[in-house]
Chains A and B, each alone.
Chain A
Amino acid sequence: MSAYNMYVFGKNGLLLHYSEWNRKRRSNMTLDEEAKLMYGSLFSLKNFCRKVSPLDFKDGFMCYKTTSYMLSVLETLTGLKFVINTDLNLSGTRSLLEKIYSEVFVEYVVKNPMWQIGQPIQSELFKTKLHEVVNQHVASVQRS
């Protein structure tokens, strides 16, 4: 059971942070290009889902699965996007993303005055805490 990698996007689509755990395959793009493609795809998927939705469109687009991995997205009310790729067996990714947003991003980015609003995250403490939370989640899913 594992988490592969994670993207955090700002309101305007700028990549604020990228983390990687055990990604086994890489795209033939630079991280910058990859992030743009990722953001654009999520944007299109969200619009697609909204348009074809047979019911009220509430939580937006939340995840997709392939035969080998699952992508989960959390979009905040403020327009940030937290995106994580995990294997198909990792459960509770929604609550993991919510935890990352409220306990790591809000605490260690929003409350750090050295972070300039909308700019990529430099704080080492943020990265440390993010890895802690993800590792804890992976371990707790393994135990249960």
Chain B
Amino acid sequence: GMNPNDDGMFEFLHMELVAMLLESEPGQVSNPSKAVVSHDIERKDTGDAETTIQSITLSSMEYIGFSTGYRMVERLTKDWPRFKDELDTMKFICKEFWTSVFRKQVDNLRTNKQGVYVLQDNCFRFLAKISQSQQYIELSPKFAVYTCGLIRGSLANLGMTCAVTAEVTSPPACRFQSSEMA
């Protein structure tokens, strides 16, 4: 039995990664209230705080996702027979992989049969609690970066070298596109 609260840790950890990403990009989210946040959670370090807090960039976050995906797929596929072809591999990502990470399948998979695949999740977990309107729309892609890495890493370990991008037009739906690199 899967308790919905079991995923809380993962969600909160991901949230903090995104929060660090937002903070480390000057101008994105100015954080004036950081100073008035109640004392019990205020960071002890002052003054040279910026030098002690490691900043996180889009590419480092994507790489964290890549490593996670690469390792996860190793464990998930250990008892599976070989995949017939690329489409079979992508179906595995949409069903088994997505279910083990997000407790649901990808809602729609499309391909142009030339190495480009589009995976659509109509209620993407990392956006579902944030907005179902255009509020925060310009920040939304940041919530998909880690997952782009997850997909790229899992495909890489299954022998497909891809570039993975994400597009958010109507949250909480999110569309991931993977294009095979020659």
The interface of chain A, by Cβ under 8 A from chain B, is: 11-12, 107-108, 111-114, 116-119, 123-125, 128
Contacts and interface: CB of A to CB of B under 8 A. Distances in A.
Given A113-B18, A113-B19, A11 B130 contact: no
B129 A119 contact: no
Interface of B: 11-12, 15-16, 18-19, 22, 29, 31, 33-34, 37-38, 41, 129-133, 135-136, 139
A124 B131 contact: yes
Nearest to A118: B38
Given A113-B19, A116-B37, A117-B37, A125 B31 contact: no
Contact of A116 (B11, B18, B33, B133): B33
A141 B84 CA distance: 56
A contacts with B: majority SS = loop
Nearest to B142: A113
A113 B135 contact: no
Contacts of A125: 129-133, 135
A11 B38 contact: yes
Contacts of B31: 116
Contacts of A111: 11-12, 15, 129-130
B6 to A, nearest CB: 14
Nearest 4 A/B pairs, CB to CB: A111-B129, A113-B15, A113-B19, A124-B135
B37 A113 contact: no
B38 A112 contact: no
